[in-house]
Chain A
Amino acid sequence: MRTRVAPSPNPLRDPRDRRLPRIAGPCSLVIFGVTGDLARKKLMPAVYDLANRGLLPPGFALVGFARRDWVDQDFAQIVHDSVRDHARTEFREDVWQELCKGIRFVAGDFSDEGAFDQLSQVVLDLDRVRGTKGNHAFYLSIPPKFFGDVVQQLKRSGLSVSNDGAWRRVVIEKPFGHDLRSARELNATIDEVFPSGTVFRIDHYLGKETVQNLLALRFANTMFEPIWNSNYVDHVQITMAEDIGIGGRAGYYDGIGAARDVIQNHLLQLLALTAMEEPLSFAANDVRVEKEKVLTALTLPQDLDKHTSRGQYAAGWQGGVQVPGYLEEEGISPESTTETFAAVRLGVDTRRWSGVPFYLRTGKRLGRRVTELAIIFKRAPHLPFSATDTEELGQNSIVIRIQPDEGITMRFGSKVPGTQMEVRDVNMDFAYGDSFTESSPEAYERLILDVLLGDPPLFPRHEEVELGWKILDPVLEHWARQGQPEPYESGTWGPTSSHEMMARDGRAWRRP
C-alpha cells in the first residue's frame, strides 16, 4: 500500500487558472549576514511580505547566521523590527506569529566549524519540526571575500548536499568579482560546492517590474519593434544616477568604484535587454541566450580617453545641503583614485545596431536620483517646414523610467497653437503608478520567491557576469593608469569630460 507514486502532475493545477499563485514547496531560507543593511531593509521584510501574501509554504523557516550573541528570540525581535519598519504590506499578527515559529538563529563566525555544525543541526531539526523536507536556500548577504569560507564550511558540514530529491541552493549578491580573473575565481569557488543550476546571482534590477516591462513593451507590441534598430535609432543613453554619496559604505565602495558597482552588472543587463533580439520564449535559457549574444557583440571605442569619462565628487551643495567631497568622506584615503562617476560609449556589433552608440553613465551625488533608459531617434530625413519653424524641435525619444516614478515618456514634436507654423517638443507620459498598483511587489519579493521555486529566468548566469568583465576590464585598466579621476561638484551632472565625450560625437546627455 505504501508505494510512493512518482511526482504526478498536480490535478489541481490548470494553466488557465490564473488565480492560483505559485506557492513555494516546503523549505527554509538561511541568511548569512542578517545584521547588514540589505538583510534588514530588504530581505527580511520581503520574506514577511511573501508570507503575508500566502506565497510561503506552511512550516516555512527563516534562519539567521551572524557573529552576534543572540538566541532565537533576539533574532525574531530583529526580524520583527525590520518587518515593522520596512515591510510593504500591512503588519498582521497572525501571519507574524506563524512566521515567528520558524525563526532560528545560529551565532558564529564564517570560519567557525562549530557554528556550522550547529547550523547543520538546526536545519535537520527544522526538517523534523517544521517539515522543510531537506530543502534549504543559503542567502550570502555578506562581502564576497567571505564567500569562499562560507561555501567551504557548507560543504564540510554536509549542508551543501541533500538527498531524496530535496534541493540546496545558494544565493549571492553583486559584486561578482572585481575583474574577469577574480570573477572566474569566485565562480570556481562556488562551483566546486554548488552545481551551476543551484547558484542564484541576484541582480535586483532584473526583479523590478519596469525592467520586466521592457520585454513586454518590446515584444508584446507592434508599434515599437519596427523602429527599434539602427535605421531609426540615433543612439541610446542608459543612466543610473544617485543623489547620495557613499554614506556608510566606505569600506565596500573604496577601491570598487562606480563602474564595477553599477555598470558591470545593472547597466550592462539593461543594455542587453534593450538591444537583444526576440527570444524564442521567455524560458530562462532562451532569454539568456539572447542576452549573451548581445554581451558578446559589445565593442569598446578605440580611443578610451575620448569616449569614456570618470570622475570623483567634490564638495558642493546638493539639493540645498552642503556636502563633503569623496576624499573628505569618513574612511576614505585622501589619495583615493576610486571613481564615483563613470561613463562609457559602447557599440553593439550586430546588423540591428551597427553604428548606434550606447552611452552608459552612473554616478553618485549627481543632480537627482534616477534610473532611466532613453532611446533617441534620428531626425526626420526631410522637414517640409522652414528652418525657423522647427527651431525648437529636438529628436524624438522614448524614455523608460526605471526608478523613481516608473513609466514611459515619449517625446515628439507638436504644432504650437497659433497662426504660425511652429513645431516644439512635447511629452506624452505613461506612469505605471497611474495605471497599475502602486504596491507592486518589491524586486526582492519576486527574486526570493523565484529562488525558493527554483525558477531562474531573472538571474544572470556566470557567463553573463564574465562577459561583463571582459568588456569592462580594458576600461578599468586604462583608468588605473590615469591617476586621479576628474573632480566634479556635488549636485551636478558629472565631470566636464563626460559632456565633452558626448559633444565629440555631436550629441549631449539628456537631463533626466
Chain B
Amino acid sequence: MSVRLDDTTASAVENAISAERFRQGSSAVGRVLTLVIIADEATQADAVRSAAEAAREHPCRILTAIPRPGKGPARLDAEITVGGVDGLGELAELRLRGPLSHHAASVVLPLLVPDAPVVVWWPGTAPDDVAADPVGRLAQRRITDASEAARPVRALGLRRSSYAAGDTDLAWTRITPWRALIASALDQPFERITGASVSAQRSNPSGLLLASWLQKCLGVHVEVHNSRGPGITGVTVRTEGGDISITRPDGRIARMVRPGFPDREAALQRRTVEGLIAEELRRLDPDDVYGETLAALPELAAWQAHTDQHAPAPTASPAKAAPSRKTAAAKPARTAGTAKAPRRATTTAAASSRRGGRS
C-alpha cells in the first residue's frame, strides 16, 4: 500500500509510516536495521528493487534519498510503501528538491529505526570520502560500488585513500565466492607457494582487490593479467608442487586444476546485486580484511602500473590539492568527480576538512 506525501516533512513521513503500519496491524519492532540508499533517478529503481529483495533476508526500513538539485525552492516529496505484496518492511522514497538536495541527512536522521544499525548504500556515484559524508556519518556501514563508477580503478583509489572502519565496496563483496574457493583449495595440504596470478577484465576493481588480498595473505608477488572477462576469469597459485589453478572463462562454471587431483568443476556464478547486498547486511561490524586489502593495493605491481599510467598532474585540481597526504600518488584525480557532480559540493567540503584533520 503506497502513500504519497507532497511538500512534506520528515515527521509527517514518520507518522504516515506508523499509521500505515498500525492500520495493517503490525508493529515495527522486528526491523533490524535502516538501509539508506542515496541514488539518482536513473539508478534508484534498480537499487530499491535489489534492496527490497535483500530485505527478505534482513527486514529493514529502506529510505531512498533522491537528491534533485535545481533552482526551485527546497521541498521534500515522499512516497511510502509499508508491507508490500509480500509483507516486506517499509520503503520510503524521498525526493529532495532544490537546496534541500544538499541536506539529505536532515531528512534521514529522524526516520532511522531507533537503536538499530544504519547502513548507507550509494549504488552509483559515491562521495569521495563516504565516512565524512553527512549521511555516511550516521551509518555503521557504508556501501559503495567502485565497479559502477565511470572510472572504476580511480574510484577504488578514492575508497583506499579515504577508508574508515565500516566502509565496504561491492567490488569486494563480489569476490567472496572466489576467495572462498581459493581458501578451500588451500585447506588441503600444499607445498611452498612461490607466486600467484589473477586474470580479469581490464580495469576490473574486483580483480585488483583479489590480487591485493592474495599478495597480502600469501606474501608472494601476485601478477594481474588482462583477460576478456567477464569479470575475473582465473586465479593461479604457483607452488613447488605445481600450479593450483581455477579458471572461469564463461562467468558460470569454475574448473579447478591441481596436482594430485582430477580436474574438478564447480558452479561459480556471477552474483546479482540483491545477493551482494544481502551478504553486506549479514555482518555490520567493520570489515578489517577489506581495509587491509585496500591499504595493500599500492604494493601491487599492477596497481602501480595503472596509477602511473593514469595519474594526472597533481595540480589538475587546485582546490583539492591536499598537500600533506602521503599517498597522493595512489589516488589520482581524487577530485575530478566533484566537478561532475556539483550537488556533492557540501559533502566534499566536509570531507576535505576532515581529511586535513586526520593527516
A: which residues have CB within 8 A of B? 1-8, 10-14, 16-21, 23, 25-26, 51-52, 54, 57-59, 92, 94-95, 97-98, 101, 128-131, 133, 429-431, 434-439
One of A20, A59, A129, A431 near B180 (C-beta < 8 A)? A20
CB distance from A124 to the nearest CB of B (A): 13
One of A14, A21, A98 near B265 (C-beta < 8 A)? A98
Does chain A have a CB within 8 A of B189?
Answer: yes
Whether B176 lies near A130 (C-beta < 8 A) is no
Does chain A have a CB within 8 A of B336?
Answer: no
In the complex, A130 Cα to B262 Cα: how many Å?
6
Whether A131 lies near B261 (C-beta < 8 A) is yes
CB-CB nearest 4 A-B residue pairs: A434-B30, A59-B264, A58-B266, A58-B264
A23 CB contacts on chain B under 8 angstroms: 180-181, 183-184, 187
B217 CB contacts on chain A under 8 angstroms: 11-12, 14
* Contact indicator per residue, chain B 173-188, by CB within 8 Å of chain A (1) or not (0): 1001101111110111
Whether A12 lies near B182 (C-beta < 8 A) is yes
In the complex, A54 Cα to B267 Cα: how many Å?
8
Whether A438 lies near B56 (C-beta < 8 A) is yes
CB distance from A127 to the nearest CB of B (A): 9
In the complex, A114 Cα to B308 Cα: how many Å?
69
* Contact indicator per residue, chain B 144-187, by CB within 8 Å of chain A (1) or not (0): 00000000000000000000000000000100110111111011
B266 CB contacts on chain A under 8 angstroms: 54, 57-59, 98
Does chain A have a CB within 8 A of B218?
Answer: yes
Does chain A have a CB within 8 A of B23?
Answer: no
Whether B289 lies near A17 (C-beta < 8 A) is yes
Whether B176 lies near A20 (C-beta < 8 A) is yes
Whether A18 lies near B261 (C-beta < 8 A) is no
Whether A5 lies near B190 (C-beta < 8 A) is yes
Q: Known interface pairs A17-B289, A94-B252, A439-B56. Does A5 touch B189 (Cβ–Cβ under 8 Å)? A: yes
In the complex, A12 Cα to B218 Cα: how many Å?
7
A431 CB contacts on chain B under 8 angstroms: 30
Whether A430 lies near B177 (C-beta < 8 A) is no
* Contact indicator per residue, chain B 31-59, by CB within 8 Å of chain A (1) or not (0): 11000000000000000000000001111
B183 CB contacts on chain A under 8 angstroms: 10, 12-13, 20, 23
Closest to A126 in B: B262
B283 CB contacts on chain A under 8 angstroms: 18-19
Q: Known interface pairs A4-B191, A19-B287, A98-B265. Does A437 touch B58 (Cβ–Cβ under 8 Å)? A: yes
Closest to A431 in B: B30
In the complex, A131 Cα to B244 Cα: how many Å?
14
In the complex, A2 Cα to B217 Cα: how many Å?
24
* Contact indicator per residue, chain B 254-282, by CB within 8 Å of chain A (1) or not (0): 10100001101111110000000001000
B358 CB contacts on chain A under 8 angstroms: none
In the complex, A128 Cα to B260 Cα: how many Å?
10
A92 CB contacts on chain B under 8 angstroms: 267, 269
Does chain A have a CB within 8 A of B241?
Answer: yes
Whether A11 lies near B32 (C-beta < 8 A) is no
CB distance from A416 to the nearest CB of B (A): 19
With A59-B264, A128-B262 already in contact, 7 other A-B pairs whose C-beta atoms are closer than 8 Å:
A1-B240, A4-B189, A12-B186, A19-B279, A131-B264, A434-B30, A438-B57
Does chain A have a CB within 8 A of B288?
Answer: yes
Whether B32 lies near A435 (C-beta < 8 A) is yes
6 A-B pairs, CB-CB below 8 angstroms? Answer: A11-B217, A12-B183, A26-B261, A59-B262, A94-B269, A431-B30
In the complex, A494 Cα to B56 Cα: how many Å?
38
B32 CB contacts on chain A under 8 angstroms: 435-436
Whether A5 lies near B191 (C-beta < 8 A) is yes
Q: How large is the interface on B (under 10, 10 to 19, 20 to 34, 35 or more residues)?
A: 35 or more
Whether A98 lies near B218 (C-beta < 8 A) is no
CB distance from A207 to the nearest CB of B (A): 19
CB distance from A185 to the nearest CB of B (A): 38
Whether A25 lies near B187 (C-beta < 8 A) is yes
In the complex, A130 Cα to B268 Cα: how many Å?
18
A429 CB contacts on chain B under 8 angstroms: 29
CB distance from A391 to the nearest CB of B (A): 28
Closest to B32 in A: A435
CB distance from A96 to the nearest CB of B (A): 9
Q: Known interface pairs A23-B180, A130-B264. Does A16 touch B289 (Cβ–Cβ under 8 Å)? A: yes
Closest to A127 in B: B262
CB distance from A236 to the nearest CB of B (A): 26
In the complex, A17 Cα to B168 Cα: how many Å?
13
In the complex, A23 Cα to B207 Cα: how many Å?
22
Whether A430 lies near B179 (C-beta < 8 A) is no
Whether B256 lies near A58 (C-beta < 8 A) is yes
A3 CB contacts on chain B under 8 angstroms: 191
Closest to A429 in B: B29
Closest to B289 in A: A17
Whether A25 lies near B190 (C-beta < 8 A) is no
In the complex, A25 Cα to B256 Cα: how many Å?
14
B189 CB contacts on chain A under 8 angstroms: 4-8
In the complex, A281 Cα to B32 Cα: how many Å?
27
| Centre residue among A10, A12, A52, A59 by max chain B CB count within 10 A | A12
CB distance from B196 to the nearest CB of A (A): 11
A57 CB contacts on chain B under 8 angstroms: 184, 264, 266
B188 CB contacts on chain A under 8 angstroms: 25-26, 133
CB distance from A135 to the nearest CB of B (A): 11
From 111 to 135 in chain B, residues with beta carbon under 8 angstroms from any chain A beta carbon are none
Whether B267 lies near A95 (C-beta < 8 A) is yes
In the complex, A26 Cα to B188 Cα: how many Å?
9
In the complex, A4 Cα to B287 Cα: how many Å?
34
Whether A98 lies near B279 (C-beta < 8 A) is no
B296 CB contacts on chain A under 8 angstroms: none
In the complex, A172 Cα to B64 Cα: how many Å?
51
Closest to B179 in A: A20
CB distance from A328 to the nearest CB of B (A): 42
CB distance from B259 to the nearest CB of A (A): 10
B177 CB contacts on chain A under 8 angstroms: 54
Does chain A have a CB within 8 A of B312?
Answer: no
Q: Known interface pairs A5-B192, A92-B267. Does A129 touch B262 (Cβ–Cβ under 8 Å)? A: yes
A430 CB contacts on chain B under 8 angstroms: 29-30
B287 CB contacts on chain A under 8 angstroms: 19
CB distance from A269 to the nearest CB of B (A): 28
In the complex, A20 Cα to B293 Cα: how many Å?
15
From 216 to 230 in chain B, residues with beta carbon under 8 angstroms from any chain A beta carbon are 217-219
Q: Known interface pairs A21-B180, A23-B184. Does A11 touch B219 (Cβ–Cβ under 8 Å)? A: yes
CB distance from B299 to the nearest CB of A (A): 16
| Centre residue among B30, B182, B218, B254 by max chain A CB count within 10 A | B30
CB distance from A396 to the nearest CB of B (A): 19
B190 CB contacts on chain A under 8 angstroms: 5, 8
CB distance from A454 to the nearest CB of B (A): 12
In the complex, A54 Cα to B261 Cα: how many Å?
19
Does chain A have a CB within 8 A of B253?
Answer: yes
CB distance from B169 to the nearest CB of A (A): 13
CB distance from A455 to the nearest CB of B (A): 13
In the complex, A131 Cα to B287 Cα: how many Å?
34
Whether A434 lies near B29 (C-beta < 8 A) is yes
Closest to A59 in B: B264
B256 CB contacts on chain A under 8 angstroms: 58-59
A437 CB contacts on chain B under 8 angstroms: 56-58
B56 CB contacts on chain A under 8 angstroms: 437-439
Closest to B220 in A: A11
In the complex, A392 Cα to B254 Cα: how many Å?
65
| Centre residue among A19, A59, A438 by max chain B CB count within 10 A | A19
Whether B30 lies near A58 (C-beta < 8 A) is no
CB distance from A414 to the nearest CB of B (A): 15
